[in-house]
DNA sequence: GTGCGCCTTCGAGTGCACTCGAAGTCAAGC
DNA sequence: GCTTGACTTCGAGTGCACTCGAAGGCGCAC
């Protein structure tokens, strides 16, 4: 933070890589990795020192990326989506298509996991009963 | 299948590795890999030719393994569980503990994915509305 | 008896997503 | 002026779970 920021508060809140990591739950290593792999919308701004400064928009986008990632979207596909957004207006239908396809996959996978979970819970039920009768 | 099996039907239904793969949805490569990695309860029986013959119990266990795997249990932990079952009676409490821990992880992860999915669906809603107004 | 196809073992290769280490730079505090 | 610590780049390493390929064996159909 600059002296001006300390005195008057930040004009626009921007974050160091460590703060961005804190804010997004990623590591600094992963943040740099995402950037060089083209998952972010633009190269992150730099301070005069060359250090990255993450804007609120950057953080918002990274949160979207983590949502896509933690629902199982491959890096490659997140990059495609980022490329569409980067290309600007006019490809909303494509973006929509990509997200809808992902949504459908996630829903299906969620249902499958739920089914498997039920079977596991049934098994747990068996063990609980047998453990009861044993003790 | 032997001549006797063709004539009189199989005495005990046992499957070749290809049939077991078909029955479990795994590849023959993966079935061998699971066996050498200690995920199965015992070494699978062999025909006189040396070919593997999977019993119904084998297939049942492999189905359990795939349930655990596809809910995200690491190979290492499936192996631990298999070791407990292999050790025989007396460790049911441990098995139960392992399954319950897994169940809780799965439940939590399911809830997280559901939350992320909602956020993605919200985003889809935005795109759908903007695409409507555009066309 | 010969070709076919399925089986065997072994070890190496692949793809994904990080994850880490080394070597160097820069601003601030003592 | 010197240390400290957070940052930089680059490339290599890791862990996981398969996945594949090569080389060879067995038994059945023709």
Q: In which band, very low, low, confident or very high, does the pLDDT at B14 lie, cut at 50, 70 and 90?
A: confident
- List CB contacts (< 8 A) between B102 and chain A: 120
Q: In which band, very low, low, confident or very high, does the pLDDT at B9 lie, cut at 50, 70 and 90?
A: very low
Binding residues for strand D (Cβ < 7 Å) = A 16-19, 28, 32, 46, 50-52; B 27, 29-30, 33, 48-50, 69, 74-76
Give pLDDT, residue B134.
61
What is the percentage of chain B residues whose pLDDT exceeds 70?
A: 89
**Architecture category of domain A3-134 in CATH:** Orthogonal Bundle (1.10)
Residue nearest to nucleotide D6 (CA to C1'): A18
Q: In which band, very low, low, confident or very high, does the pLDDT at B131 lie, cut at 50, 70 and 90?
A: confident
Give pLDDT, residue B40.
96
Contacts of B124 (CB under 8 A, 6+ apart): A96, A99, A100, A103
Q: CB B116 to CB A64 under 8 A?
A: no
Q: CB A124 to CB B116 under 8 A?
A: no
The ranges of chain A with pLDDT < 50 are: 1-10
Among A32, A35, A126, A131, residue whose Cα is nearest residue A86: A35
Q: How far is A98 from chain B (nearest CA, A)?
A: 10
Give pLDDT, residue A1.
44
Q: Residue B114 corresponds to which tokens in the numbers above?
A: 């559901």
Q: In which band, very low, low, confident or very high, does the pLDDT at B49 lie, cut at 50, 70 and 90?
A: confident
Q: Which chain A residue is nearest to residue B71, measuring alpha carbons?
A: A113
CATH of domain B1-88: 1.10.1660.10
- List CB contacts (< 8 A) between B101 and chain A: none
Q: Is the pLDDT of residue B11 over 70?
A: no
Give pLDDT, residue B1.
44
Give pLDDT, residue A3.
43
Helix (H, G, I), strand (E, B) or coil at A52: strand
């Amino acid at each position: 933070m600059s002296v001006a920021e300390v005195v008057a508060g930040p004009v626009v809140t921007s974050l160091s890589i460590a703060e961005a990591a804190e804010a997004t739950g990623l590591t600094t290593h992963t943040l740099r990795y995402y950037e060089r792999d083209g998952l972010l919308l633009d190269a992150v701004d730099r301070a005069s020192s060359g250090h990255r400064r993450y804007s609120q928009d950057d953080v918002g986008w990274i949160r979207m990326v983590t949502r896509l990632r933690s629902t199982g979207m491959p890096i490659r596909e997140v990059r495609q989506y980022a490329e569409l957004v980067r290309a600007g207006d006019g490809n909303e239908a494509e973006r929509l298509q990509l997200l809808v396809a992902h949504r459908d996959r996630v829903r299906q996978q969620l249902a499958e996991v739920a089914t498997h979970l039920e079977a596991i819970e049934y098994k747990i039920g068996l063990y609980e009963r047998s453990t009861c009768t044993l003790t």
